[in-house]
Each structure stands twice: as structure tokens, then as C-alpha cells.
Amino acid sequence: MSLQRRIGLGITLAVDLAGGTNYNTLGAIVNAVKHGGTKKDVVDISILSDFWKQYAVGQCDPGEIDFEIAFDPGDNTALSNTNARLTTMHATSGVNAFPFQLSIPAVASPGTNTAQLINFSAHVTSVGMAIEKEKMLIAPVKLKLSGNPGF
């Protein structure tokens, strides 16, 4: 398999509030979608007679995703708008995570001309707002992945 060099230009992040596969793009991503990586729990299984400690791996934490979207305070009148979607997801509690889809654009020739779709489930754990004098208004968002992230 040859390495397909890809750039982040044109990535989209979408969600289905109904829990299915009818994804709607979640705002305009400003700069990046960052995943800090997965992490396995390490359990100390040493006993008193062991000179060297011994470890086993336990469960795997799928991690978190951080991103920023363009923020428009007036964009909250219906569930189809970005702020309303984020507010709905952030206000939801329980075990049911929302299905997300990250779409990475196709690679121009000589690469493959197909987009890569990455599906995962997550909870919206943080939504903020950044307002600076001479910069675009943005909303930083944090997702907590649930289950196998698929990447």
C-alpha cells in the first residue's frame, strides 16, 4: 500500500442527532480536528515475592477530540443550526453517545480519488466561546469518544 499524502483542507465533521446515519455537517471547522490518542490502562499485578514489578494491560480509553468551529451567536434557531445541535448534544445525559462522521477529502491525482469516512461515537463534553478583538469568533468543542473509535 502506498502512502497517500493528504492535507486537512476541506475536512468536515458531521453528526446525526437521531442516532442513525443521516449525518449533517457540524459547523465550519476553523483550523484542526485533534485526537490526543488512545490510552490503555496498566495494572500492577506484582506480588510480594516478585523482585521486578509485573504489569498487565486493562481497558482502553478511546480518548478525546478537540476542534474549533466558526461561532455565530444568532445560529441557534432550529436543530439544523450548529449552536442548537451542540447545545442539544451537550445537554444530553446517559450512556447513549452520538454518531459522528469525519470526512477527509479525496487525494488528487496520482492519489486515490475517494474521500475517507471515519465513523465514531462520542459525547459532547465541552462547548466554549472565544471572542478576540480582531479575530473570527470561534467555539472550541471537546468530544469524549465512546467505544472503538475506528482509527
Pair 25, 82: CB distance under 8 Å: no
Q: What is the CA radius of gyration of the chain?
A: 19
| pTM for this model (two decimals) | 0.81
Reference 115, options 19, 10, 42; nearest CA is 10
- List, for residues 69-116, the tens digit of each pLDDT value: 888 777 665 555 777 788 788 888 877 789 998 888 877 656 566 778
**How would you classify the pairing of strands 12-15 and 98-104?**
antiparallel
Handedness of CA 22, 91, 72, 35 (dihedral sign): negative
Pair 34, 65: CB distance under 8 Å: yes
